[in-house]
Amino acid sequence: MVLIHGWAQTGAVWDLPGFHAHAVDLRGHGESDDFGDYRDSARWAADLKAVLDHTGPATVVGWSYGGLVIADYLRFHGTANVHALVFVSAITEIGRGRPGGETGPVMRAALPGAITDDAVMAEFCQAMAPVLPSGTVGELTAAATSVSPRVRGELFRRDVGSADVLKAVDVPTLVVHGTQDEVVAPAAAEYSAALIPGAELSLYPDTAHAPFLERPERFSADLLRVAR
């Protein structure tokens, strides 16, 4: 599997024992370099293509902003080198009025402050999944504040629709979303699942923005059904 993290996080966010997985750091995050261009879908597509060229065909899992990176890849490369897709609390679009990028009150409250203010970012990391232990929240916060404010802001300065891209998906797809997610609205998951042919929508009750951390056993079981 290839695991793609969300906005202002790193590949270290994933904890999936028992899976053969490659957790990448997106450009400008974690140990990846700051390549300067964050608004061009073709650049994001090329980044993921480079990973899949290295790993070979894989199940691609995208959390939050990672879902948009997957959509960028599909726009230019279709499902080449993709066995299956898993969207986790994910956006597939971004921009005003884009249903695949609908946010919730926690995300709206965090912006624009969390772009430049580390204290606001810390509050966001706590609020994204309130049931997580303090140690995990601390790790999320450390990862988020290590991403430069410029990069944090650039990721939002895009306007991307993905309806045609989603309708063309031709591999098994699972859409996972917490019913209590207030970062990415559950409506965004419903939108993506409705457009992707044959997609399965798996809604987790009493779960916020990080199902793989909040409900690890259920999430692992879901992955086992689709991962190749």
Residue 129: both structure tokens together = 């999944």
Tokens, residue 7 = 């906005």
List of the chain residues with pLDDT < 50: none
pLDDT given for residue 164 in this prediction: 98
| 163: its two tokens | 């309806």
Region class of 18: left (phi > 0), else alpha (psi between -120 and 50), else beta = left
Distance separating alpha carbons of residues 51 and 23, to the nearest angstrom: 10
What's the confidence (pLDDT) of residue 79? Answer: 98
Provide the pLDDT for residue 36.
84
pLDDT for the residue 35: 85
- CA–CA separation, 27 and 159 (whole Å): 19
Residue the block writes with tokens 């692992």: 220
Neighbouring residues of 179: CB distance < 8 A, sequence distance ≥ 6: 186, 203, 204, 205, 206, 207
* Residue 41, pLDDT score: 97
* Domains located in the chain, CATH noted: 2-227 (3.40.50.1820)
Burial of 197 (0-12, 13-18, 19+ CB in 10 A): exposed
Q: Per DSSP, which regions of the chain are E strands?
A: 2-4, 22-24, 58-63, 82-88, 173-178, 200-204
- Check: pTM over 0.95? Answer yes or no: yes
